[in-house]
């Protein structure tokens, strides 16, 4: 019997609780300004002890929202929010901030040892063009006494009559700025924390662009004597596995497995591309990062829902 429960705020979002702790809220129909590219997001996100490990709409990047599937370069459209990188002009505010619009829920509830939620979305440009139809599924389950695991999977189908290229500011000319994809923004207190990979640990700037199966972040909380670890694991079937990682410890805390970091991925008309991730969230310190990643990986491998999204690959160019 699952210790997790789910509450559905009809037409807005869901909340998942571990007894009296709300582990996360997933807002699938936000009231976000167009400039910030309206999209579903997870925030707040908490550990099993109740410590918040996400940040919403920070003043430096108001389009950062906890954990969100965000893409800054989709052809010439921006589904990230804010200005677009234009080579030779730096960041320019254009009328291209698109929306990920919730369409319908497929299922929502607690099953066996997990909570599962799936819905369909449309990706629509600021000019009103529908580019992708998406099916997205999330699940949450307790993996150990101090760790729970979120899985996130998405299947995006090109509904236009032309190929669509997904990239990053780096593919458009900005060095070492290959962000885009599943993006986690950490609390202010996590600034100058520790980034950890299978190869070691250190500041984010030194690890940005490296390829690894997983990446973790360890930070300390303000106000309480506590630390937390976030470990993100890339599915082996994902395009460009193992991905390059966009990670920061300096200025702010973030982790992002970035499959479009340095190469654009082309999705043909009618083609579906699929990505799948697991995120381990633990009341723990940096030395346990590999253990937390292993727990998340085990859920990714063994915890597939009966109707999980089949892996799909598109051409990289």
CA dihedral 302, 257, 229, 278 (to 10 degrees): -20
Instruction: Render pLDDT for 79-118 as a digit per residue (tens, 0 to 9).
Output: 999 999 999 999 999 999 999 999 999 999 998 789 999 9
Q: Which domains are assigned to the chain?
A: 4-316 (2.70.98)
Tell me what pLDDT residue 159 has: 98
Answer whether 201's CB lies under 8 Å from 220's CB. no
Mean pLDDT of the chain: 94
202-221: average pLDDT: 97
* DSSP string for residues in 239-267: TTSSPEEEEE-SSS-EEEEETTSSS-EEE
284-294: average pLDDT: 98
**DSSP SS3 for 81:** coil
Candidates 64, 110, 90, 82; CA nearest to 254 is: 64
Asked if the model's pLDDT at residue 312 lies above 60, the reply is no
Tell me what pLDDT residue 165 has: 98
Answer whether 104's CB lies under 8 Å from 121's CB. no
In SS3 terms, 117-173 reads as EEEEEEEECCCCCEEEEEEEEEEEEEEECCEEEEEEEEEEEECCCCCEEEECCCCCC
Asked if the model's pLDDT at residue 30 lies above 80, the reply is yes
272-290: average pLDDT: 98
- Which stretches of the chain are DSSP H helices? 204-207, 289-302
By the 10 Å C-beta count (0-12 exposed, 13-18 middle, 19+ buried), 133 is classed as middle
Neighbours of 169 (CB within 10 A): 24
Q: What angle do CA 46, 52, 57 make, to 5 degrees?
A: 115
Q: Phi and psi of 105, rounded to 5°? A: -95, 135
Answer whether 190's CB lies under 8 Å from 257's CB. no
């Amino acid at each position: 019997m699952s210790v997790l429960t789910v509450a559905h705020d009809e037409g807005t979002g869901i909340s998942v609780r571990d007894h009296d702790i709300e582990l996360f809220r997933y807002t699938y129909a936000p009231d976000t300004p167009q400039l910030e590219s309206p999209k579903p997001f997870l925030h707040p996100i908490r550990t099993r002890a109740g410590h918040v490990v996400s940040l919403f709409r920070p003043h430096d990047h108001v389009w950062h929202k906890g954990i969100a599937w965000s893409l800054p370069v989709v052809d010439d459209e921006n589904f990230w929010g804010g200005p677009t990188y234009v080579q030779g002009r730096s960041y320019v505010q254009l009328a291209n901030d698109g929306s990920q619009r919730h369409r319908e829920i497929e299922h929502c509830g607690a099953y066996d040892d997990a909570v599962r939620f799936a819905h369909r979305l449309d990706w629509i440009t600021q000019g009103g063009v529908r580019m992708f139809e998406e099916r997205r599924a999330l699940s949450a389950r307790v993996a150990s006494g101090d760790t729970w695991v979120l899985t996130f999977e998405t299947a995006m189908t090109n509904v236009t009559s032309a190929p669509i290229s997904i990239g990053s500011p780096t593919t458009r000319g900005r060095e070492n700025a290959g962000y885009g994809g599943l993006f986690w923004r950490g609390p202010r207190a996590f600034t100058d924390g520790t980034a950890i990979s299978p190869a070691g640990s250190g500041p984010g700037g030194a690890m940005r662009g490296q390829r690894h199966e997983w990446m973790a972040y360890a930070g300390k909380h303000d106000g309480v004597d506590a630390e937390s670890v976030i470990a993100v694991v890339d599915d082996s079937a994902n395009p460009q596995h193992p991905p390059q990682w966009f990670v920061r410890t300096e200025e702010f805390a973030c982790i992002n497995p970035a499959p479009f970091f340095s190469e654009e991925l082309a999705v043909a008309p009618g083609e579906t591309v699929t990505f799948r991730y697991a995120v381990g969230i633990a009341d723990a310190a940096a030395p346990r990062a590999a253990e937390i990643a292993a727990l998340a990986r085990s859920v990714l491998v063994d915890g597939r829902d009966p109707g999980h999204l089949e892996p799909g690959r598109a051409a990289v160019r």
